[in-house]
Structure 1
Amino acid sequence: MDQSYKEQHEQFVSDHSGTNVVEIACMVTTGPLLVLLRHVVQPWARMFHFKPSVRTKFVCDFLLLVLPIIAVTTVLSNYTDAVLTALLCVIFGILACNEMLNNISQWKPPHQRNKDVILLLDVKTPERMAFITNYRALINITSCVCILAVDFAVFPRRYCKVETYGTGLMDVGVGAYVMCNAIVSPATKARYLGHKTFLDKCSAVFKALVTTLPLLGLGMIRFVSLKILDYHEHVSEYGIHWNFFLTLAVVRVSILLLLVSIVILCICHPSSSWLISMCLALGYQYLLSVHGLREFILTGSDGQGSRVGMLNANREGIFSCIGYLAIYFAGVQVGQFLQKSRSTLRDWLRAVVVLMAVQTLFWLLLKFSESTTENVSRRMANLPYILWMVAFNLHVICAVLVIELVSIILTELNKPVYQGTDYKPNSQPSFCLLRAVNSNGLFYFLAANLLTGLINLTLATMHASPTVGFIILCGYQFVVCGFTAYIFNNTRKSLKFG
């Protein structure tokens, strides 16, 4: 890579101040609404006697779920409110048409629809709800869209990672991945509670180490590859040698996680993880604010930004793991709540109320912490960042859960319309791109990273016009999603982060 272009590119993705948390929350809300849009268009396949193949289903899912996400993060980034309004209008319009179908005698077999709200609340829900799958997949897709989009001028600079303080869309990435993994982790499912003896605990630690080796290997491969290719780097993001994969590995099972997550959860029930999260977050912020850790992370041991020595070189990546660990334990607590047995709409609606109340609490705590400590800093993963990540992820989880409950209600109220379609009551379609991405999350992310690197090495991305950038982003995601869907549909094997 030409040295002058490399320096220009590094400057292109650096020194940004971000946007506000409201805009980011609104932007990611488009994903759940797209899932609802896919649900309400299902009856139209039957109306036109359309029985799509797996390939056609993939193309439809791509057009309905992925393409709009690319658009709202790039060419439509200034019109998020209009996009949300348009989506709602389209959904309500299709629902009105579906209602008309219900009233056409030749389309409605003898069936008395149940519109009694009280009885509707007792409708049985699937044993395995799809909202966690949708949540994890949407986070993964949005993140992978951004990792290439950030290199193009069509991607708004306010969505880039901020330099020190502030909130950008890309600052969500690693925190959201940590939360996604924690929600479905073995700790959440209390698998470690059976380890009573010291040997059992050592065995759990060893197994955890083994599962972390691929992430450690990927972290080393990424570091070596960047140096060999002289690829552009944003050093203040993690440090010189550190990267995303090493952070995930450390948070999952390395020193802190081995000593705290595995061993402590062998003794304590996962329901206590909120207390561990709170202690880590408050203790870490205390070190940042009172004992000079903030100054060390921002300016190094010499106060001039020194990168001499392993600790100085990677201070952001190393110390931010404490904050990510707090997010991890918060995710374990959320996962514990979501794993509770619920069998009716009434049960899940109560869960939604609780999640919304907790989400509101964390948004308020975020504002309070910013006024009393410091602003959000993904670079340090400080207390406000931890609170933001918990509030943000609860927002997305609530959104996808509400959308799934709405889908179940719509299916129950409009059974005649859905009869004969691929979408059976209380189920996902037989092929679902979101399920494919969730089941092969690690493969999807790796493929996206490799293709991102290839595109950057062969094209001066930051000089591409908005139109060219958007077209390349669409093609890039079509290829990555296509390979992921192919592997899922033909092997049914999973390659995940957590």
Structure 2
Amino acid sequence: MGRDAKDAKEAHVSGLTGSTVADVNTVSLVLPLSVLLWSVLQSRLRLFNPYTPIAGLIDFLINCGACLAALTVYSSSPWMLNLLLLLPALGIAVTSAPRSMSKSAVRPPPKNTGSKQTTLDPLPVKPFITHYRGAMMVITCVAILAVDFKIFPRRFGKVENWGTSIMDMGVGSFVFTSGVVSVRSSLKTNAGKRPNLAARLLDSLRHSLPLLVLGVIRFISVKGLDYAEHVTEYGVHWNFFFTLGFLPPFVALFQSAFNIVPSYAALSCVLAAVYELALDKTNLGAFILVGPRTNIVSQNREGIFSFIGYLAIFLAGQSVGMIVLPRQAVLPKNPTLVDRVKGTILGKLAFSALVWTVLFYVSISYYGFGLNVSRRLANLPYFLWVSSYNCVQLALCCAVETFCFPALQKASQKEDESQRTRYATSTLLLAFNRNGLAIFLVANLLTGLVNLTVPTLGMGIMESMAILAAYIATLSALAIGLDKLNISIKL
């Protein structure tokens, strides 16, 4: 890639003004609305059972096509796309009665029905979590290539220093949702039998090393190919894989603090607040934004110090995981509103979303702290924005599941619950969620390949959409192929 083209690409990708929070929220409604349309089609019409090629195509159009459209051709009129998803879902929900699973979907129970097969899992698989994590992976994969085309609005690209955008939310959401599911191992372990610090650190290295290796490979390939990059995003040598790779050992350290402050939410807020004080009351903020790059630390100051904010986001994700992963308690016969908030996952999620949202607006309000969101710094408002956004999205997906698949809470045996869960889960989103990090890695490779072979900035709407559709279809085929082969690639 020539120097002029590279400079143009950097200016194109960096983004300058970003979007408003309301704009990001409006565009992002495509995720829960796509899940709603899929869920209504399945619960009312059993459209995806069995999973025929036609059903697979519709699954792809709803869960991948809608995300692609939201970031490109419908970016200037997101409410129109939202209505195109919402109105059919409401029409089908009103005119069709719920239908149970077909007999072909129900496999005969195993002959040896031991306790392991009949006892309900205290940490059951939740379709709404699978749907949200899968949808987040889809929109992330779409965005990392779409940003290189003119059809992708500049307000969606990562901002330089201050502001909000879809892609700024994407990296934070990736970390947040990773935190949500990571707490599963902690919930499985009795607090009195928690491994010591040395054992936790040793185990964390097993998760860190592959990611750190990927970070090194990405650094070498980017520099070797003279690929367009924006230094102020993470620094000269740092990249997102390094951020992900250093999370496990630091999370292992914070598990010791959890014994003193038994709340991941409180720990995350304390960490983010202390970091914000350092940014505002010392020269740290100025150093990160305008300091010279004279050594290894100053050259990578964005990645090193923003890691503190991403660690807080990961801990906030773990606090939500403590809410959504355990089995929902049985409500009393005549539950009050307080019982529903305290006793249901949806109620707890809605309350958490309200708290995070209030804290976020206090942090940015003129009558509050008056701070600005900065993804580059991963400061306190950014941390609160990511936590609020993801809690709201998870609450909406949980509400969809509660409305469309109420029978999920009524299973009496593990095998029955497993069948109901699979029936209520999109095959495509399940596949993206199952091998998310591996798919993300392939998406990065394909993005580089496309940018090195075609002039993305000079392409028209039809050519751009054709390439982007082929790209996301390739990733979808890979994800479903790995799922059908029962392959889980853990990095």
Shift of 1:188: 4.7
Alpha-carbon displacement from aligned partner over 1:134-154 (angstroms, at most 9, x marks no partner): 111111111111000000011
> Which residue is 1:117 aligned to?
none
Shift of 1:439: 0.7
Q: Partner amino acid for 1:139?
A: M
Cα 1:463–1:44, aligned 2, differ >3 Å: closer, same or farther? same
In structure 1, C-alpha distance between the alignment counterparts of 2:194 and 2:361, rounded to whole Å: 42
Deviates more, 1:440-449 or 1:23-32: 23-32
**What is the alpha-carbon root mean square deviation over aligned residues?**
2.7
In structure 2, C-alpha distance between the alignment counterparts of 1:410 and 1:39, rounded to whole Å: 13
> Which residue is 2:320 aligned to?
334
> Which residue is 1:88 aligned to?
86
> Which residue is 1:474 aligned to?
469
> Which residue is 2:287 aligned to?
296
Equivalent of residue 353 in structure 1, options 347, 351, 367: 347
In structure 2, C-alpha distance between the alignment counterparts of 1:430 and 1:32, rounded to whole Å: 14
1:465 matched to 2:460? The reply is yes
Cα 1:359–1:287, aligned 2, differ >3 Å: closer, same or farther? same
In structure 1, C-alpha distance between the alignment counterparts of 2:13 and 2:145, rounded to whole Å: 11
Alignment of 1:163-312 (within 5 A): 163-186=160-183, 188-189=186-187, 191=189, 193-195=191-193, 200-253=196-249, 256-258=250-252, 260-265=253-258, 267-268=259-260, 271-300=262-291, 306-312=292-298
Conserved? CA contact 2:130–2:425, under 8 Å: no
Report how many aligned residue pairs link the two structures: 449
Q: Any unmatched runs of 5+ in structure 1?
A: 103-124, 301-305, 413-422
What SS class does the counterpart of residue 494 from structure 1 fall into?
coil
In structure 2, C-alpha distance between the alignment counterparts of 1:230 and 1:448, rounded to whole Å: 19
1:14 matched to 2:14? The reply is yes
Deviates more, 1:126-135 or 1:139-148: 126-135
Q: Partner amino acid for 1:378?
A: R
In structure 1, C-alpha distance between the alignment counterparts of 2:146 and 2:8, rounded to whole Å: 16
Q: Partner amino acid for 2:206?
A: V
1:450 matched to 2:441? The reply is no
Q: Any unmatched runs of 5+ in structure 2?
A: 100-121, 410-417
Shift of 1:324: 0.9
> Which residue is 2:113 aligned to?
none
Report sequence identity in percent. Answer: 35
1:396 matched to 2:400? The reply is no
> Which residue is 1:63 aligned to?
61
Cα 1:238–1:203, aligned 2, differ >3 Å: closer, same or farther? same
Shift of 1:391: 0.2
Equivalent of residue 362 in structure 1, options 356, 359, 363: 356
In structure 2, C-alpha distance between the alignment counterparts of 1:430 and 1:385, rounded to whole Å: 31
Shift of 1:320: 0.5
Cα 1:373–1:467, aligned 2, differ >3 Å: closer, same or farther? same
1:433 matched to 2:428? The reply is yes
Shift of 1:59: 2.2
Alpha-carbon displacement from aligned partner over 1:16-75 (angstroms, at most 9, x marks no partner): 21111122122222112212212222378679xx97555444322111211111001110
In structure 2, C-alpha distance between the alignment counterparts of 1:338 and 1:97, rounded to whole Å: 31
Q: Partner amino acid for 2:86?
A: L
Alpha-carbon displacement from aligned partner over 1:173-228 (angstroms, at most 9, x marks no partner): 2211111111111465263835567xx43122111112110100000000000011
TM-score normalized with structure 2 length: 0.85
Shift of 1:14: 1.8
What SS class does the counterpart of residue 95 from structure 1 fall into?
helix
Alpha-carbon displacement from aligned partner over 1:358-377 (angstroms, at most 9, x marks no partner): 22222222222123242000
1:489 matched to 2:489? The reply is no
Conserved? CA contact 2:15–2:154, under 8 Å: no
Alpha-carbon displacement from aligned partner over 1:88-109 (angstroms, at most 9, x marks no partner): 211122234425x99xxxxxxx
In structure 1, C-alpha distance between the alignment counterparts of 2:377 and 2:312, rounded to whole Å: 13
Conserved? CA contact 1:205–1:262, under 8 Å: no
Deviates more, 1:77-86 or 1:447-456: 77-86
Q: Partner amino acid for 2:197?
A: K
Alpha-carbon displacement from aligned partner over 1:383-440 (angstroms, at most 9, x marks no partner): 000100100110111111011111114999xxxxxxxxxx976653586111111111
Equivalent of residue 405 in structure 1, options 399, 402, 405: 402
Q: Partner amino acid for 1:71?
A: A
Shift of 1:272: 2.0
Shift of 1:126: 11
Conserved? CA contact 2:59–2:426, under 8 Å: no
Conserved? CA contact 1:362–1:391, under 8 Å: yes
